[in-house]
């Protein structure tokens, strides 16, 4: 057994400890900045001189650049999180995306917009994984689900805040400035937290840390890692395609007053639902003492809601927004998804896994858009509704199969390491 002395691994008994509070606020700013583009997409591109169908095409390009940044940043910050510490990642990532978002408010071309969304994506990639890793290592196993639930539910409400800020300012540039300033202010709160006992112990050992390639050199470990990624993909299809491009779907569905449907408002409703979904999935998981059962139920519910959404012909605009709320609730398993990833691997690569997994899910959006575009443009001659149903069904089936293969982690102690082709507990 590769155990860690009690003097080092003493964990806080309070769910609302400094690590949980700071991680929750950090994720709040992270989500604010991450979803802000979807909210200001149309107005910002129009302001840059883009019109007609080019708004959709350039929007897909810009969000793909942001997600490419998150894909690269997930690897970078994950490895640094295990080598240099979870807190150093929290500082570095927020500094980069704060600067990038301020720069986003100054762009005058689509090329400049794309560059700074790429940089922002790199910065945004580090926040969630480092925060969740720190929280899971700082709380007893019977309470860590509550801790991650608080982080996720507070964090995703950042999308609602982004929409409200935009409603107040009515200026997409000011919204980017606000996000950058919030991030810089948050840096001062980070001073109050320290590394977890597990990380301090692993730093004193000769154990290899942050070995990203080790996730691919062992078949069993790679399979587990891939499964952790696949279970989260339906969520980002729903948010990144179905909700972000909700005005286009509303028109295809013949929603009453479809021209009034705003992506920003749809995102706000979706993420409000996601907040409640995260709370519900977190609580049910704790009560049933199972991550997998609740995750499976939410994946099935999500698939049902995708079909309901894409068959909601002729509904009113208000009903459409309520449907966006229900869609958000159906993907309220984000907290379980990230917690499961953190609990599947040893301390010496936990930050690497917990940071790369959600960012690989986010970074899969360009591929998802490519697959969706293939069905839309090649097979169904522009029918976005059929294309959405096919892609949604495929991703849900893949996710359910991946979840079925993963082990239950609710009762797992996290004071162990991965070494070579073995796991030492």
Tokens for 68, please give them. 């490419």
CA 140 – CA 13 distance, rounded (Å): 7
Q: What is the pLDDT of residue 330?
A: 95
**Angle subtended by helix axes 347-363 and 219-230, to nearest 10:** 50
CA 263 – CA 265 distance, rounded (Å): 5
Question: 221-244 burial string, b = 16+ CB within 10 Å, else e?
Answer: beebbbbbbbbbbbbbbbbbbbbb
3-state secondary structure string across the chain: CCCCCHHHHCCCCCCCCHHHHHHHHHHHHHHHHHHHHHHHHHHHHHHCCCCCCHHHHHHHHHHHHHHHHHHHHHHHHHHHHHHCCHHHHHHHHHHHHHHHHHHHCCCCCHHHHHHHHHHHHHHHCCHHHHHHHHHHHHCCCCCHHHHHHHHHHHHHHHHHHHHHHHHHHCCHHHHHHHHHHHHHHHHHHHHHCCCCHHHHHHHCCCCCCCCCCHHHHCHHHHHHHHHHHHCCHHHHHHHHHHHCCHHHHHHHHCCCCHHHCCHHHHHHHHHHHHHHHHHHHHHHHHHHCCCHHHHHHHHHHHHHHHHHHCCCCCCCHHHHHHHHHHHHHHCCCHHHHHHHHHHCCCHHHHHHHHHHHHHHHHHCHHHHHHHHHHHHHHHCCCCHHHHHHHHHHHHHHHHHHHHHHCCCCCCCCCCCEEECCEEEC
pLDDT in tens, the chain (425 residues): 344 444 334 455 677 777 788 888 888 888 898 888 878 888 899 999 888 878 878 888 888 888 888 888 888 988 888 888 778 888 888 889 899 999 999 999 989 999 999 999 999 888 888 888 888 888 887 888 888 888 888 888 888 888 899 989 889 999 999 999 988 888 877 666 666 556 566 566 666 766 788 888 889 999 999 999 999 999 989 988 999 889 999 999 999 988 888 888 898 899 899 989 999 999 999 899 999 999 999 999 999 999 999 999 999 999 999 999 999 999 999 888 988 998 888 878 888 888 899 888 887 888 898 899 999 888 887 889 999 999 999 999 999 999 999 989 888 777 777 764 444 44
Q: Could you tell me which residues are beta bridge partners of residue 417?
A: 424
CA 140 – CA 15 distance, rounded (Å): 9
Q: What is the pLDDT of residue 118?
A: 93
Fold of 11-424: Growth Hormone; Chain: A; (1.20.1250)
Q: What is the pLDDT of residue 78?
A: 85
Q: What is the pLDDT of residue 386?
A: 92
Q: What is the pLDDT of residue 391?
A: 94
Contact predicate 255/320, CB 8 Å = yes
């Amino acid at each position: 057994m590769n155990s860690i002395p009690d003097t080092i691994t003493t964990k806080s008994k309070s769910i609302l400890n400094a690590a949980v509070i700071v991680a929750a606020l950090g994720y709040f700013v992270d989500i604010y900045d991450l979803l802000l583009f979807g909210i200001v997409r149309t107005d910002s591109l129009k302001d840059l001189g883009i019109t007609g169908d080019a708004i959709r095409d350039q929007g897909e390009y810009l969000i793909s650049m942001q997600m490419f940044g998150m894909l690269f940043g997930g690897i970078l910050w994950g490895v640094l999180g295990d080598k240099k510490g979870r807190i150093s990642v929290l500082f570095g990532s927020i500094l980069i995306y704060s600067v990038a978002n301020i720069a986003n408010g100054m762009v005058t071309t689509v090329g400049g917009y794309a560059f700074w969304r790429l940089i922002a994506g790199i910065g945004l990639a580090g926040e969630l994984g480092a925060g969740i890793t720190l929280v899971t290592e700082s709380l007893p196993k019977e309470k860590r689900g509550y801790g991650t639930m608080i982080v996720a539910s507070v964090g995703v409400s950042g999308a609602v805040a982004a929409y409200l800020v935009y409603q107040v300012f009515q200026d997409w540039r000011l919204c980017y400035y606000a996000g950058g300033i919030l991030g810089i202010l948050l840096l001062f709160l980070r001073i109050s937290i320290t590394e977890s006992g597990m990380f301090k112990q692993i730093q004193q050992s000769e154990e290899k840390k942050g070995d990203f390639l080790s996730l691919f050199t062992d078949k069993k470990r790679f399979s587990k890692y891939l499964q952790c990624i696949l279970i989260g993909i339906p969520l980002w299809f729903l948010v990144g395609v179905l909700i972000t491009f909700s005005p286009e779907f509303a028109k295809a569905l013949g929603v009453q007053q479809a021209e009034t449907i705003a992506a920003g408002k749809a995102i706000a409703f979706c993420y409000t639902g996601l907040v409640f979904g995260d709370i519900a999935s977190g609580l049910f998981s704790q009560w049933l003492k199972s991550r997998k059962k609740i995750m499976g139920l939410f994946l099935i519910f999500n698939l049902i809601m995708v079909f309901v959404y894409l068959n909601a012909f002729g509904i009113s605009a208000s009903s459409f927004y309520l449907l966006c709320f229900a869609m958000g609730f159906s993907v309220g398993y984000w907290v379980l998804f990230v917690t499961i990833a953190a609990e599947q691997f040893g301390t010496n690569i936990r930050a690497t896994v917990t940071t790369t997994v959600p960012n690989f899910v986010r970074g899969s959006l360009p591929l998802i858009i490519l697959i969706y575009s293939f069905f839309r443009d090649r097979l169904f001659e522009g029918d976005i509704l059929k294309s959405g149903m096919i892609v949604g069904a495929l991703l849900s089936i893949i996710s359910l199969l991946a979840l079925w293969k993963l082990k239950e982690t609710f009762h797992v102690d996290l004071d162990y390491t991965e070494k070579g082709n073995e796991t030492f507990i």
